[in-house]
Structure 1
Amino acid sequence: MIQEQCADRNNVQTAEKPQVSYKVGIYGWRKRCLYCFVLLLMVLILVNLALTIWILKVMNFTMEGMGHLRITKTGLELNGDSEFLRPLYAKEIQSRPGSPLFLQSSKNVSISILDGKNKAVTQLVAGSSGIHACCKLLEVKSNTGKLLFSADAHEVVVGAEKLRVPGAEGAVFSNSVETPHVRSEPYKELRLESPTRSLYMEAPKGVQIMAEAGDIRATCRSEMRLESKDGEITLDARKIKFPRLPEGKASATGSRQTVFEVCVCPNGKLYLSQAGSGSTCHINSSVCL
């Protein structure tokens, strides 16, 4: 009986004890903030995805490259005009077969070759003021490999068969010129001129001046000397004229003298003397004084 009463009391206490329930989750303003954050994140993802697709479309990204840039087995291939804002480092730059290669810049185009110490040993600069080249040796060759032009610190070599200077003033040389042959163009005259200094022509085996279809004229302001140390000077022509030789007269005569004798002074000066039955040079030797 006592056990049954205890059991009844426990049941009554259990039935009278209140039941407490707990809510699990986010409610109120926290829930609304979470939903707004998730919605904003979804919008950002969609916008980012749309921008990525738009960039891929505009830049023309493909499996071979992007835009005008293509990746090939031999390197990179650019089609159309390309602009580089930073230095370009490449082992080789060439155009497509049959197409020209253009290099364009708003200021200048510089090509430099560096040594192991990053010092420019060869440099080519093409700008608005001109083309400047800095190198130890400059060579220009033909398609067959023949040397056409060469220049270094010691000499300049012109390997072409003919050097033509079409300027009106011709060619000006401040120092000596060494050449085996100087000639003018057909039907043009050749002039060797030194306006303010002397003109020398030297050769170990002789100097030949020849004009096959024209005249030869030598003009100077002070003195002209024809000198031969070991040989002779030959004047071979049908007529040899000395129009300005001084004339010496032995005596005044009424008849005009038409025949003269050419006399030579000890100092080499030439003059004319009236011809007579014998030499009259000794009579007019006063001209030599």
Structure 2
Amino acid sequence: MTREQYILATQQNTLPRAENAQLYPVGIYGWRKRCLYFFVLLLLVTMIVNLAMTIWILKVMNFTVDGMGNLRVTKKGIRLEGISEFLLPLYVKEIHSRKDSPLVLQSDRNVTMNARNHMGQLTGQLTVGADAVEAQCKRFEVRSSEDGKVLFSADEDEISIGAEKLKVTGTEGAVFGHSVETPHIRAEPSQDLRLESPTRSLIMEAPRGVQVSAAAGDFKATCRKELHLQSTEGEIFLNADTIRLGNLPTGSFSSSSSSSNSRQTVYELCICPNGKLYLSPAGVGSTCQSSSNICLWN
């Protein structure tokens, strides 16, 4: 045995030994251990439920690499398949449907489309409601799809119709509250053209003349009180094979001609200074003066 081994052996034998030494356990025991296991188990169950809910949501909402559900993200924008519902305002640059299906905008109340400028001010509005379709803008235009010709335009100053024909199919026709300016008015083939003013006067004016033509029918002008044909600088020319003036009054006859009144068949047309017409029995000379009392009647 070496010296060092002898010294170590003698030192260990001389060390005092502790009596009744207490042992302290190291770790978690008892109710703390059971609580720890419970929380670990609860966390594991929560993670499994969250994972299952996430997978279920992905499956129900149809999440793919291209989009979600009916929503598809393409290079040209966003594509919606089927019926889509928007609960808040939608701001887009362009909306168009597929080539083989129409575009339908539907609402339980009104469908309103607004146009605003760069300052956010409202410049145009189109509202489609249950009772009416309203458009609020400075100028409203309807153009042809072929050549872009303006078919209808309206602003604060005038309303212009650019179509070749304006057709009114209502039984009451067209009602105008004020004047109407047009170069030509005609009816449909085999139909009558009627211009009527039930409670007021009907006036037709033109700077270079008014022409009324009925190529295949009759022309009739009817009024309740007076019918005026006036020419300020020219003449009124009636050209027809037969001109009839019905219901003209017949003037009183003198005593010399009363005996032949029953056999009178030829009359002379007389005119009063105030323009009133009446009939007088024809004679060798003019007999208009013998019935001048017609001119004094109202």
> Counterpart in 2 of 1:277?
284
User: Aligned match of 1:115 in 110, 114, 117?
Assistant: 117
User: Aligned match of 1:234 in 231, 234, 237?
Assistant: 237
CA distance in 2, matches of 1:105, 1:189: 45
- Conserved 8 A contact 1:148-1:160: yes
Output one character per residue of 1:89-143: Cα deviation in whole Å (capped at 9) or x when no partner: 1111111223211111111111001123433211011111121111111111112
Structure 2: gaps of 5 or more residues: 1-8
> Counterpart in 2 of 1:178?
181
> Counterpart in 2 of 1:135?
137
Q: Does residue 1:28 correspond to 2:30, yes or no?
A: yes
Q: Does residue 1:153 correspond to 2:156, yes or no?
A: yes
Secondary structure, aligned partner of 1:183: coil
**Matches of residues 1-289 of structure 1 in structure 2 within 5 Å?**
11=13, 14-143=16-145, 144-251=147-254, 252-254=258-260, 255-289=262-296
Structure 1: gaps of 5 or more residues: 1-6
Name the Cα RMSD after superposition.
1.8
> Counterpart in 2 of 1:4?
none
CA distance in 2, matches of 1:223, 1:16: 148
CA drift of 1:161 comes to 0.5
- Conserved 8 A contact 1:249-1:274: no
User: Structure 1 residues 14, 162: CA separation in 2 closer, same or farther (over 3 Å shift)?
Assistant: same
CA distance in 2, matches of 1:10, 1:163: 128
Which segments of structure 1 move beyond 6 Å, counting only runs of 4 or more? 7-10
Q: Identity, % of aligned pairs?
A: 59
CA distance in 2, matches of 1:64, 1:116: 33
Residue range with higher mean Cα deviation, 25-34 or 251-260: 251-260
CA distance in 1, matches of 2:16, 2:59: 73
AA in 1 matched with 2:282: A
CA distance in 1, matches of 2:26, 2:259: 158
Aligned residues: 284
CA distance in 2, matches of 1:171, 1:177: 11
AA in 1 matched with 2:106: Q
AA in 2 matched with 1:273: S
User: Structure 1 residues 286, 29: CA separation in 2 closer, same or farther (over 3 Å shift)?
Assistant: same
> Counterpart in 1 of 2:6?
none
- Conserved 8 A contact 1:263-1:273: yes
CA distance in 1, matches of 2:275, 2:78: 83
Secondary structure, aligned partner of 1:86: coil
CA distance in 2, matches of 1:137, 1:30: 81
TM-score normalised by length of structure 1: 0.94
